Structure 1
Amino acid sequence: MSDEQDINRIKIVLVEKKRSNKWLAQELGKDPATVSKWCTNTTQPDLQTLAKVAALLDVDIKDLLWSTRS
């Protein structure tokens, strides 16, 4: 893990799926600035929103989180 505060992997998974922050914001009906904050780990989405992100990106919700185990 690059930084102790990096909790989610949304930005990485978006890149892997060739999707943009703007696309995700539109799909969720969220402000692009909000999604940007999630991607930089400035703030975190709630679990319900994270589940929606996982469904939109067709990944397991665990794929959006950094493992807490080494």
Structure 2
Amino acid sequence: MNRIKEVLEQKGKKQVWLAEQLGKSYNMVNSYAQNRRQPSIEILYEIGKILQVDAKELLISSKLLVHNE
């Protein structure tokens, strides 16, 4: 699970903008943001660089997921 959508909102950026920065389609970025698909580690680091956050900040800890269920 990731926090891409949340971090985009915090940064005041749109998924369309991120798609352009990554050179990916809007549909792919939307899949990442909606957690229908997870980006590769390389893409996750690239997203972190673009959004100026540590890639770890884009992830939701599996411990939190288990705890909240």
**What is the TM-score when the length of structure 2 is the normalising length?**
0.89
- Percent sequence identity over aligned pairs: 39
**What is the TM-score when the length of structure 1 is the normalising length?**
0.88
Corresponding position of 2:48: 54
Corresponding position of 2:67: none
List runs of 5+ in structure 2 lacking aligned partners: 65-69
* Structure with more helix by fraction: 2
**Aligned partner of 1:16 among 10, 35, 38:** 10
Q: How does 1:1-70 map to 2 (within 5 A)?
A: 7-70=1-64
Q: Which runs of 4+ in 1 moved over 2 A?
A: none
Say what the alpha-carbon RMSD is for the aligned residues: 0.8
What SS does structure 2 have at the residue aligned with 1:62? helix
Note the C-alpha offset of 1:67: 1.4
